[in-house]
Amino acid sequence: MKFETRCVHTGVEKDSAYNSCITPIYPTSTFYWDDLTTNRGYDYTRSGNPTRRGLEENLAALEGGVDCRAVCTGMAAITASMFLFKPGDHIIAGNDIYGGTYRLFSDVFTNQGYKFSFVNMRDPAQVEAAITPETKAIWIETPSNPLLNIVDIEAVTKIAHANNLISIADNTFLSPYLQRPLEKGVDIVIHSTTKYLNGHSDVVGGAVITKKEDHQERVSYIVNAMGLGCSPFDAWLVLRGVKTLGPRMEAHQRGAMALARMLDEHPKVQKVYYPGLESHPQHELAKSQQDGFGAMLSFDVAEDRAFAEKVFKNLKLFQLAESLGGVESLIEYPETMSHASMTAEARREAGISDRTIRVSVGIESPEDLVADMRNALDA
């Protein structure tokens, strides 16, 4: 089946009693057994649930993995993947990743004895140079959050495979509609299903999708043992949202491209970060490994933070909020919001300044979004 068809039909047929066309919600905590050794495939919702299983089958099919585990948040998905390793292990990550991921790595897991190196992952040579005898994994985030830097997935996974390392990619920004890292050599894909997969800003969730059976067995054990699984209702919401993933992403992209082109020409904008622009230094790389450029973009205003604050206040359609991937357009200030958990030094090293603004472009009329942003900048 083609991608859009898999979005609609995979993970649906769970109702043998009434032939529901939509995956039912099974809000039970407990399933009774037929006898001491036999059940119907489920015993306790922490360990497994038919609604959650439907979502897992769907996402595994969309990413091309052997299986998936749906969890309660995007951060829970990252946490589950980190438990593939142990104290003393070394992991290489980009220096421009999402602030919450950076905090989890640099604070929580570092305090547990894990070791991390944050490098410019646009340069595969820096990735290779960071490898030590203790290195066990490479964490890939592409496009990066918030500056939309592109990592050459095939180049980095080639390094990982040559050194017997696990490669893990956060594919939240593009969704499997626009990028499928497993096809490029990645071992494990992470999602915050809160974002584009759900697409309606009414649920939080995450997913871990694997290409290898041994990784999946370990992830399944971790998710069950730590109680990380998402609720049946949340799984149902994401399943509902993912059915329209294809057409939503096309609408998102139309608005993002129109907005990026306007910003690129506006005198009050110093720089636009959007791989869809021909001026983006990694435009060709993005074209080669993505099926589109997505709906996330950032830009630096030409003046100071006070001017950025005025832009926020003058917007009518863009809501000031940290999340992304919903049908509504959101705008945020990484310095005090999404990347506040990074140190100022780490933000500057990543290229985030007090002039940087991040935008999640929704599915509203591109003309309306462009007009609203232009008016805010002009005002």
Looking at the annotation, which residues are catalytic? 46, 98, 170, 195
Phi-psi label, residue 71: left if phi above 0, alpha if psi -120 to 50, beta otherwise: beta
* Cβ 216 vs Cβ 210: under 8 Å: yes
Q: Burial, 15: exposed, middle or buried (Cβ in 10 Å; 0-12, 13-18, 19+)?
A: middle
For residue 78, report the phi and psi dihedrals to the nearest 5 degrees: -65, -45
Name residue, tokens 């720089």. Answer: 271
Measuring CA to CA, which residue among 145, 171, 150, 170 is closest to residue 352? Answer: 145
- For 31, 54, 108, 228, 242, the CA distances from 175, given in Å and listed in that order, are 33, 18, 27, 22, 10
| Residues 357/333, Cβ–Cβ less than 8 Å | yes
CB 127 within 8 A of CB 162: no
Residue 168 backbone phi and psi in degrees, to 5: -125, 130
Which letter does DSSP use for residue 32 in this model? -
| DSSP category for residue 30 | B
**HSE-up (13 A, CA, CB side) for residue 321:** 15
Report the alpha-carbon distance of residue 320 to residue 312 in Å, rounded: 7
For the residues of 161-204, what is the DSSP string, one character each? HHTT-EEEEE-TTTHHHH--GGGGT-SEEEEETTTTTT-SSS--
CA distance 174 to 191: 10
Residue written as tokens 């915050």?
192
Residues in the chain: 379
**Both structure tokens of 168:** 């893990």
Please report, in angstroms and rounded to a whole number, the separation of the first and last CA atoms in the chain: 49
Q: How many CB atoms lie within 10 A of CB 84?
A: 19
